Amino acid sequence: MRIDTEELIIKYKDDLFRIAFHVCQNKEDSDDAVQETFIQYHTSIVEFQDEIHIKAWLIRVVINKAKDLRRSGLRRFYIPLEEYMETLEFETPETKNIFYEVMKLPERYRMVIHLFYYEEYSIHEIAGLLKLSESNVKVRLSRGRKMLKKIIQEVLS
């Protein structure tokens, strides 16, 4: 099956942007990764089983695109993270601090935490998306959750 690209953009662009942001840590590359991902979907002839399959495909592609952009060595003008955070509408000052602290965590933990907490994927699904073993995902998730707990406790206290 195929879903119209415009429809997918409306539905998943922000989710993909958040995932790309965990890799690139800047708005410009994250936007590019998302755009490239949808272009790849739009121009591909891949047939999908269902929408879940499409979303998983999009996530895998956006992670790869984001990594490519990060590796590319092209140094464009980036808005620094602190400056970009000022443009975001955080619900409370605490969430803003948590955001900043989470962004300091190593990417291998951030990505697993995000897919687990935000996208609500299971360990098995995350292993498939990141092409890791389940035990590896478990370890990363366990360590990442500990780090996240510590951050939340420190910020909220």
Partner 1 sequence: MTEQEIYKKTFLPLHAEEEISLKRENTVFYTKVTGRKIKTACACVLGMLLLCNTTCYAAYQIYQTKHLTIFFEEGISQSEIDEIGKELNRLGDCAEIELQMEYVNADQAWETFCNEYLDDDVKEKFDDNPLKDSANYQVTIKFFSNTDNVRKQIENIPGVRMVVDKRENAD
- Considering only residues 59, 112, 123, 148, which one is a binding residue for partner 1 as defined by CB under 8 A? 148
Q: Are 23 and 67 in contact (CB under 8 A)?
A: yes
Q: Residue 94 half-sphere exposure, CB side, CA atoms within 13 Å?
A: 7
Q: Residue 10 half-sphere exposure, CB side, CA atoms within 13 Å?
A: 4
Q: Is 34 in the site for partner 1 (CB under 8 A)?
A: yes
Q: Is 18 in the site for partner 1 (CB under 8 A)?
A: yes
Q: Collapsing DSSP states into helix, strand and coil, what is residue 157?
A: coil
Q: Are 41 and 55 in contact (CB under 8 A)?
A: no
C-beta closer to partner 1: residue 9 or 139: 9
Residue 84 amino acid letter: Y
Instruction: Name the DSSP letter for residue 91.
Output: S
Subset of 54-113 contacting partner 1 (CB under 8 A): 68-69, 71-75, 88-91, 95, 98-99, 102, 113
The residues of the shown chain that bind partner 1, judged by CB under 8 A, are 5, 9, 13-14, 16-18, 21, 30-31, 34-36, 38-39, 42, 68-69, 71-75, 88-91, 95, 98-99, 102, 113-114, 117-118, 145, 148-149, 152
